[in-house]
Structure 1
Amino acid sequence: MGYLLDTSICVFFLRGKLNLDKMVKQVGLENCYISEITVAELRFGAENSDDPVKSNKAVDVFLRGLTILPIFGSIKRYAIEKVRLRKIGKPINDEFDLLIGVTAVENQLILVTDNVKDFKLLDGIKMENWFERN
């Protein structure tokens, strides 16, 4: 089974709050993916940091070896889920979260996130939380 790492998990790792290396070793790097949306969010965070050069280098190192999934193949599912959730009165207001979530579903991956509540209403979503907040 493959795993799509949500942005929050990647940020915890980059901030030294999660031993992601250990988990990736357990499941295999070849089974870990990130969305291009996550890359965009990580780049924004790096540029917005106190030291953009250092932060972008950390993102570069982090991305090595990970497979980055495009969102294009998940756009139809995104539209279907956005409409379905709106009709039941439970919209996901964060467009990036919705795109990441449907990318996991479309690619039959387990979404690794600590934001379980933000994704739990997506049809077909499978999730794991590799980080528990204290």
Structure 2
Amino acid sequence: MSNPQFLLDTNILSEPLRPIPNPRVMELLVMYSGLTATATVVFHEMLYGCYRLPNSRKRQAIEAYLREEVEAKLLLLPYSTDAAKWHAFERARLVGLGKTPSYVDTQIAAIAVVNNLVLVTNNETDYADFQGIQIENWFVNL
């Protein structure tokens, strides 16, 4: 695994599971394989969603994807001490401005920023107020 350049958000990482995945996202996932990582927080979100499903073929397929494609092939970056420091500072700054960012989104942003990675997401507005974050949306033309 080479050094990652991109941190994949949940909506990007879950795209291959859709009945008709976005072709551009799929193309870029292949093109940048080896240069992508995700956060353990994102992995948690996906596992939690999976475990809430009843036992079914769909759940089995999602579990297999998470085990064989995500956990086995992607670098999973933890919520580190540096991320916690950035998170606390940025959360306090935004609350001081009257904004209440999502706790999990701030964790994901912190992991991206402290690892100097571009956050790839389809939810650009969720991250727009964070300072120092680089964002790409693979659902739109770059």
User: Does residue 125 in structure 1 map to residue 111 in structure 2?
Assistant: no
2:76 aligned to which of 40, 44, 68: 68
Counterpart-to-counterpart distance in 2, 1:87 and 1:54: 43
3-state SS of the aligned residue for 1:111?
A: strand
TM-score normalised per structure 2: 0.83
Counterpart-to-counterpart distance in 2, 1:36 and 1:123: 22
User: Does residue 49 in structure 1 map to residue 53 in structure 2?
Assistant: yes
After superposition, the C-alpha distances for 1:92-134 in whole angstroms (9 at most, x for unaligned) are 1x211110011111111000001000101111011000124xx
TM-score normalised per structure 1: 0.87
Q: Per-residue deviation at 1:21?
A: 4.2
3-state SS of the aligned residue for 1:65?
A: coil
User: Does residue 98 in structure 1 map to residue 69 in structure 2?
Assistant: no
1:78 aligns with 87
User: Does residue 87 in structure 1 map to residue 90 in structure 2?
Assistant: no
Counterpart-to-counterpart distance in 1, 2:79 and 2:121: 18
2:29 aligned to which of 15, 24, 29: 24
Residue type of the partner of 2:112?
A
1:58 aligns with 65
User: Does residue 34 in structure 1 map to residue 38 in structure 2?
Assistant: yes
Counterpart-to-counterpart distance in 2, 1:55 and 1:123: 34
Counterpart-to-counterpart distance in 2, 1:4 and 1:106: 11
3-state SS of the aligned residue for 1:91?
A: coil
1:46–1:59 Cα contact (<8 Å) kept: no
User: Does residue 2 in structure 1 map to residue 24 in structure 2?
Assistant: no
Share of identical aligned residues, percent? Answer: 28
1:36–1:70 Cα contact (<8 Å) kept: yes
Q: Which runs of 5+ in 2 are unaligned?
A: none
3-state SS of the aligned residue for 2:7?
A: strand
3-state SS of the aligned residue for 1:9?
A: helix
Counterpart-to-counterpart distance in 1, 2:85 and 2:68: 32
Quote the RMSD (CA, aligned, Å): 1.7
3-state SS of the aligned residue for 1:108?
A: coil
3-state SS of the aligned residue for 1:30?
A: coil
